[in-house]
Amino acid sequence: MITLTIGRPRLTLGLDEHQRVDHDTHVRLHGELPEITADDLVVLAELGALRGCGGAGFPFARKLRSVLRSAFRRRTPARVVVNAAEGEPGSAKDRMLLQRLPHLVLDGAELAARALGASEVVVGVADRRVPGADEDPAQESLRAAVAERRSPLVFRMVRTPHRFVSGQAGALVQAVNGGAPIPPGEPRRASESGVAGLPTLLSNAETFAHAALLALGGAYRYSSVGTSEQPGTILLTVGGSVVVEAPAGTPLVQVLHMCDVSPGQAVLVGGYHGSWLAPDAVARASLSREGMAEVGGALGAGVVLPLSGATCPLGEVERVLRYLAGESAGQCGPCVRGLPALAESFAALVGGGGEPESVLTAAEVGEGKGACAHPDGSAVFARSALAVFAEDVSTHALTGGCGRPVAGELPLTDEPADRRARLHLDWSRCDGHGLCADLLPDLVLLDRNGYPRDRDVLVPDALVGDAELAVRMCPELALRLRARG
């Protein structure tokens, strides 16, 4: 994992000399954690205009106040939860913090726990363990950090599946409470009823790291960089693997230049619930909430994904829409029916048929009625793609494609272990009978000439039997079922 810094490092202080900052080094760099009251922490968060860095951007001071009020009214203790589950496939910043700078995150969580009178801090992490290994490096670093701190607080790690919706706040609370790691069927405020039904302060790892910087260095020092509306620095994940710390307000093109990447056809900002920016918008965009809003975007989860000119943009968008449909919690109509319909309507555009209006209609189904923000966020992604890649839509409609392969440049979460089969097509044998599409309508899509559009298709475990039948029935023996490598 590569970490870069524009300007003087704040969150990433020490990484120029250390692969991982242990507790002694952390204290040498930042100082001892101060004792502050809940009111002081609220004031610091307000002075630093601190908002959640996981996507929603909710003011941290308001969360604190809400938890304090709930705990006081109910005469109950509070809980603190660090969300480092990071369901976004293109995001690595929270993982980087746990792996290389764990004490900055734990400092912020401990400050909040002390201020709220909480005896326990829960850290939610995505389960990315390699088969045969006990833990991944981020989890090992977190366990080592807890031992190094010798804190009277209890720090507990909870693993969740590495899925898109498992990183959502409500899904993490359910996982901590022993339930399914999916968003609850109805909106719930963790500040009212979170872990064990108690008032819970829940925010992502970067947010707690910023809270620690505010307490350790003071609001004046914290606000000496950034913008007046958004002081401090931000963490971005560029291209799925490079984490960049930059002052808020930094031009997007400066970040891309530092990472030695071109804006290409467009840049996706904010993750898979975010928006595409055309090259002219990229040239004007600055990395703050206000700066991104001016060009029609949003920082979201801090994901920046440039798309090169070597890949078909419509095919890339379709890949992600199918992934998002597959990541549904499966508990409401807008997800169960709406997201597959959205993916299919976009697939029709890729094949040269269909109409943009069909995509827009599918995006409107159940809008604002989902059990979580997943359907609406996916619709934002699809609408944005229609606007930015309008010329490509026209080209595909006229010629049936753009002549470029789908290179898979947009990162997707590794498939779960029960999805290991792939259906492979031998183009030299295929004669366009279309029988495979009849047998596997949910997997095999035909182009306007009647040939399968994808050479390699992931087969869910439930459809392996149907895929085996398609292999046996193919008149030209053009199909093979392979184990995923």
Residue 139 belongs to domain with CATH number = 3.40.50.11540
Residues 32 and 177 in one domain: yes
Q: What is the pLDDT of residue 133?
A: 59
- Which domain, by its residues, includes 67? 8-222
The number of folded domains in the chain is 4
**Each residue's pLDDT tens digit, 237-265:** 999 889 999 999 999 999 999 988 999 99
Which residue matches tokens 């490092």? 9
Instruction: Give me the helices (H) in 285-355, please.
Output: 289-294, 313-326, 333, 339-350
Residues with Cβ within 8 Å of 169's Cβ and at least 6 positions away in sequence, in order, are 54, 83, 190, 202
Residues 389 and 475 in one domain: no
Residues 245 and 358 in one domain: no
Which residue matches tokens 């201020």? 115
2 domain-assigned:
no
How far, in Å, CA of 476 to CA of 473, rounded? 9
Of the listed ranges 44-58, 92-106, 376-390, the least confidently predicted one is 44-58
Q: What is the pLDDT of residue 201?
A: 96
Q: What is the pLDDT of residue 131?
A: 56
Average pLDDT over residues 23-30: 97
- At residue 417 the predicted structure's pLDDT band, cuts being 50, 70 and 90, is very low
Residues 472 and 349 in one domain: no
**Each residue's pLDDT tens digit, 71-118:** 999 999 999 999 999 989 999 999 999 999 999 999 999 999 999 999
Q: What are phi and psi of 403, to 5 degrees?
A: 85, 0
Q: What is the pLDDT of residue 399?
A: 92
- At residue 476 the predicted structure's pLDDT band, cuts being 50, 70 and 90, is confident
410 domain-assigned:
no
State what percent of residues in the chain have pLDDT above 70: 94
Residues 381 and 454 in one domain: no
193 domain-assigned:
yes
Residues 443 and 338 in one domain: no
404 domain-assigned:
no
Residues 166 and 302 in one domain: no
Q: Pick the closest to residue 312 from 264, 354, 358 (CA basis).
A: 264
CATH number reported for the structural domain that contains residue 468 in this entry: 3.30.70.20
Residues 161 and 44 in one domain: yes
Mark which of 222, 245, 260 sits at the end of a domain: 222
**Each residue's pLDDT tens digit, 140-188:** 999 999 999 989 999 999 998 888 888 888 889 999 999 888 888 777 7
Q: Name the β-bridge partners of 127.
A: 161
Q: Could you tell me the pTM of the whole model?
A: 0.84
User: For the chain, how big is the Rg over CA atoms in Å?
Assistant: 23
Q: What is the pLDDT of residue 419?
A: 38
Tell me the HSE value of 13 on the side-chain side, using a 13 A CA sphere.
17
Q: Residue 134: what residue type?
A: D
Residues 128 and 16 in one domain: yes
211 domain-assigned:
yes
CATH number reported for the structural domain that contains residue 344 in this entry: 1.20.1440.230
Residues 303 and 319 in one domain: no
115: which 2 tokens? 């201020």
405 domain-assigned:
no
Residues 67 and 104 in one domain: yes
How far, in Å, CA of 126 to CA of 413, rounded? 11
Mark which of 260, 279, 307 sits at the end of a domain: 307
**Each residue's pLDDT tens digit, 164-176:** 888 888 889 999 9
pLDDT over threshold 60, residue 420: no
CATH number reported for the structural domain that contains residue 255 in this entry: 3.10.20.600
Q: Evaluate the CA torsion angle 6, 10, 13, 19 in order and state its sign.
A: negative
